[in-house]
């Protein structure tokens, strides 16, 4: 597990059946200058729905439709805020225990707790997950199939044994993550459907830093993030001399991604055989951009048509701003890499706080 100091926000939304997700991320830190002791972030389908920190002691909605949830549930924000305050005390206790176990007396340290669930809106299948991280590494994970905690580190064995011996707590976890959490997730999807299930196509540009640099096919402004972008030659997808970038969030909730093509061994006459293809899940027609020197934007001169070719700095700067803001607001958001075969879990959720009363039920670390 790696701590990412930015939020790589997410999606799974289209008219077709999708797996929706809900996740809560809690981060407790020590000796991090000008940073709250606790930061909590809630996500639905990898879209941030709330933010809370121990400095403001306020639960702030991040989506307009979350206000409608509060309107229909008058005690929603008050109850939720109280629970988050309870988690602040609970996780602080866990944090101190772990620092002692690792024989740490000072310095910057980070404790992370993630809880969430997934729901397939076609099959009705649900899955829950709960993980604990410490200083950027996995500390404990909960196995939904065996209903037990798993310890990847020797220092976590004591906690694992203690928590696995608490059968009532394990039963509570299973009930919350397989029933209560999915119920809340369905409510959020209902209220946020028009936003979460929307489809937005991107603008696609060809970019090049220098005449000898790879040509980057850059797509920005698309939603959801279930998208693919690739280069192909003579209609066949290329796997060599290409480098695919990550999907990143824009400041307006949309996404961007790019794929680079190294043309160092390609003669100019063959450029016309290459094209960039962008595919958005749920959309029938792909966006195809032919490799053409005349349309390449650069930061070293003019495009082939004589216009001022420059990178779309607005989108790039927007991402930088988003990432910086998320450093401040979501420093504890951690992501386990997605692997084929669904190894590990993908980030997403409502929260251990929506209906999870474990703030008063969690065993000691």
Rounded to an integer, what distance in angstroms lies between the CA atom of residue 126 and that of residue 182?
7
Strand ranges in the chain using DSSP code E only, listed in sequence order: 2-3, 19-30, 38-44, 47-53, 59-61, 109-120, 126-134, 137-143, 148-150, 203-208, 215-222, 227-233, 236-237, 242-244, 248-249, 255-261, 274-280, 287-290, 296-298, 334-335
Rounded to an integer, what distance in angstroms lies between the CA atom of residue 361 and that of residue 353?
13
pTM of the complete model: 0.66
CATH number belonging to domain 2-196+327-360? 3.30.500.10
Whether the CB-CB separation of 280 and 241 falls below 8 Å is answered with no
Rounded to an integer, what distance in angstroms lies between the CA atom of residue 5 and that of residue 165?
35
DSSP state of 284: S
Residue 130 has pLDDT above 60, yes or no: yes
Whether the CB-CB separation of 49 and 69 falls below 8 Å is answered with no
Residue 328 has pLDDT above 80, yes or no: no
Calculate the average pLDDT of the chain: 80
Whether the CB-CB separation of 293 and 301 falls below 8 Å is answered with no
- Bridge partners, 126 (sequence order): 119
**Coil, strand, or helix at residue 302?**
strand
Top-confidence range, 8-12, 45-49, 315-319:
45-49
pLDDT of residue 17: 58
The per-residue pLDDT for range 196-240, each reduced to its tens digit, is 888 999 999 999 999 899 999 999 999 988 899 999 999 999 999
Q: Which two tokens stand for residue 168?
A: 């009532």
Whether the CB-CB separation of 274 and 260 falls below 8 Å is answered with no
Q: Which residue has the higher pLDDT, 5 or 221?
A: 221
The per-residue pLDDT for range 285-312, each reduced to its tens digit, is 999 999 999 999 987 654 444 444 444 5
pLDDT of residue 204: 97
Q: Domain 203-324: which topology?
A: Immunoglobulin-like (2.60.40)
Domain-by-domain residue ranges, the chain?
Answer: 2-196+327-360, 203-324
- Least confident residue range of 2-16, 66-80, 95-109, 268-282: 2-16
pLDDT of residue 73: 78
Strand order in the sheet with 236-237: 236-237, 227-233, 274-280, 287-290
pLDDT of residue 332: 42
pLDDT of residue 7: 33
The per-residue pLDDT for range 140-155, each reduced to its tens digit, is 999 988 999 999 888 8
pLDDT of residue 365: 53
CA separation, residue 242 to residues 115, 230, 246 (Å): 36, 8, 13
- Tokens 């970019």 correspond to what residue? 207
């Amino acid at each position: 597990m790696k701590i990412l100091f930015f939020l790589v926000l997410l999606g799974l939304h289209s008219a077709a059946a999708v797996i929706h997700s809900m996740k809560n991320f809690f981060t407790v830190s020590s000796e991090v200058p000008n940073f709250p002791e606790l930061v909590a972030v809630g996500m639905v389908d990898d879209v941030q729905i709330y933010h809370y920190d121990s400095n403001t002691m306020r639960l702030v909605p991040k989506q307009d439709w979350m206000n409608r949830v509060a309107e229909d549930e008058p005690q929603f924000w008050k109850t939720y805020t109280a629970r988050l305050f309870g988690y602040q005390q609970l996780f602080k206790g866990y944090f101190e225990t772990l620092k002692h176990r690792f024989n740490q007396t000072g310095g910057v340290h980070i404790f992370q707790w993630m809880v969430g669930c997934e729901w397939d809106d076609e099959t009705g299948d649900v899955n829950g997950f709960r993980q604990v991280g410490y200083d950027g590494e996995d500390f404990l994970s909960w196995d939904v199939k065996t209903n037990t905690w798993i310890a990847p580190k020797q220092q976590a064995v004591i906690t694992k044994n203690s928590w696995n011996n608490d059968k009532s707590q394990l039963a509570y976890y299973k009930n919350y993550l397989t029933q209560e959490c999915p119920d809340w997730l369905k409510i959020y999807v209902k209220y946020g459907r028009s936003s979460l299930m929307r489809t937005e196509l991107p603008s696609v540009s060809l970019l090049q830093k220098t005449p000898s640099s790879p040509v980057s096919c850059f797509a920005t402004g698309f939603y959801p993030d279930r998208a693919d972008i690739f280069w192909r030659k003579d209609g066949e997808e290329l796997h060599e001399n290409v480098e695919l970038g990550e999907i990143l969030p824009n400041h307006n909730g949309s996404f961007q991604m790019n794929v680079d093509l190294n043309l160092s061994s390609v003669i100019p006459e063959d450029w016309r055989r290459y094209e960039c293809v962008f595919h958005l899940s749920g959309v029938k027609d792909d966006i195809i951009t032919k490799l053409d020197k005349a349309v390449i934007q650069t930061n070293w001169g003019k495009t082939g048509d004589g216009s001022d070719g420059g990178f779309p700095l607005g989108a790039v700067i927007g991402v930088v701003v988003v990432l910086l803001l998320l450093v401040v607001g979501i420093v504890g958001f951690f992501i386990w890499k997605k692997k084929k075969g669904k190894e590990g879990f993908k980030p997403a959720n409502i929260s251990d706080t929506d209906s999870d009363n474990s703030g008063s039920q969690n065993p000691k670390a």
